[in-house]
Amino acid sequence: MDAVLVANAGSSSVKFQLFGLSERGDPLRLIKGQIDGIGTRPRLRAQARDGSSLADKAYPALEIADVAAAMTVAAEWLRQTQAVKLIAVGHRVVHGGPDYDRPVRIDAEVLARLERLSPLAPLHQPNNLAPIRSLLAHRPALPQVACFDTAFHRVHAPVADRYALPERFYREGVRRYGFHGLSYEYVAGRLREIAPAVAGGRVIVAHLGSGASMCALADGKSVESTMGFTALDGLPMGTRPGQIDPGVLLYLFAEKGLDAAAVENLLYRESGLKGMSGISNDMRELEASDAESAKLAIDYFVYRIGLNAGMLAAALGGLDAFVFTAGIGENSPAIRGRVAEKLGWLGVSLDPAANAAGKSLISGANSKVGLYVVPTDEELMIARHTLALVSARAERAISAGG
């Protein structure tokens, strides 16, 4: 069976999924797995489509010391246990910069361009690219496709795409990119299936997880996002602060004597829910805590979601639906309820029972705005893009030969 492998590499884990092809040629999820604890306590876990366990194995730390090694181990496990023919690998790549507004087949030149964007996404980009580099070295003939979190937002109008800086910086690529685009693209498509009456209207999608952002959609297309040049802007996140006055950074440099590396570490790893609470970057732990600092962090998270919802509703000229997705958005009825309360001025009313039960539609009967919970599936989106790009390339080759 032909199959597509999807890889989503982070700093200490590699998530992977294997997709076969249905009779119609659509991606069909076969396996979902990950290797976490890279460099400390590596562990491979994998599940079949029905949820049954296929693997649960620990490794010595030195055997899987980095992301590239983890990808090698995952690929070898798949080769030994799965009777499939791998036709392509699709990768989530956080930043596509000004060059890439759609998925692209990866070669050495593309990889070099993407590596230059690593300072704009230091938590993600180097790790996203590590398995790509490894596969290019060991299996150069295997097609690899980069799918970008920024691509979905590249249709923004110029007024939403720019900062109030001299034009030369825009030409150099300093602009508002937006992120979580693969998630928003999937949710926009899924909304057309479950709520076609509102999917073509004015919709805010809140991707609330360890990384968090919000996106304004008009007719399923991105018109504004809370994130900008990097994945630091907008909402507070697990370890990132969200919107911050640039003057704070100048103060840290000039008055506190911090260098660029120290400020980067502060902004990417020590701020957000973790920094405010002093307890954890995990919303589940904060919700279970009685500490006042945990309560403050949650209050701040909800408050900023409410503020940004107002901004995005203004960009849309009104609101027809609000969608929750990602880890917190999909799994925390309490956060959904508090956000809904913040949106009351927009005509939002919540159905508490539907919210507690995790239904797809959680707005009350009299709500002027539909409230939805739509689980995201970035990996399926990557598989679709990868398959489409590889298939189109094969068809062009056949046409050229014929």
Mean pLDDT is lowest, of 70-74, 224-228, 284-288, 386-390, for 70-74
User: Both tokens of residue 50?
Assistant: 């029905």
**Whose CA is closest to 273, among 312, 302, 245?**
302
Which of these is catalytic: 36, 99, 107, 149? Answer: 149
Q: Is residue 398 very low, low, confident or very high in pLDDT (cuts 50, 70, 90)?
A: very low
**Residue 271 CB: number of other CB atoms within 10 A?**
21
The answer to whether residue 149 is catalytic is yes
pTM attached to this predicted model = 0.91
Tokens 């361009």, residue located: 113
Q: Which segment of 24-28, 52-56, 161-165 scores lowest on mean pLDDT?
A: 24-28
Say how far apart CA 356 and CA 349 lie, in whole Å. 14
**Contact partners, residue 260, CB within 8 Å, separation at least 6:** none
Q: Percent of the chain at pLDDT above 90?
A: 77
- Round to whole Å and give the CA distance between 132 and 114: 11
- Mean pLDDT calculated for residue range 154-172: 95
Torsion angle defined by CA atoms of residues 227, 231, 236 and 237, in that order, rounded to the nearest 10 degrees:
140
Question: What would the pLDDT profile of 291-341 be if each residue is shown by its tens digit?
Answer: 999 999 999 999 999 999 999 999 999 999 999 999 999 999 999 999 999
Return the number of other C-beta atoms located less than 10 Å from residue 45's C-beta.
15
pLDDT tens string 232-289: 999 999 999 999 999 999 999 999 999 999 999 999 999 999 999 999 999 999 999 9
Q: How far apart are CA 222 and CA 225, in angstroms?
A: 7
Q: Look at residue 106 in the predicted model and tell me its pLDDT.
A: 95
- State the pLDDT confidence band at 188, using cuts at 50, 70 and 90: very high
Q: Could you tell me if 223 and 217 are in contact, meaning their C-beta atoms sit under 8 angstroms apart?
A: yes
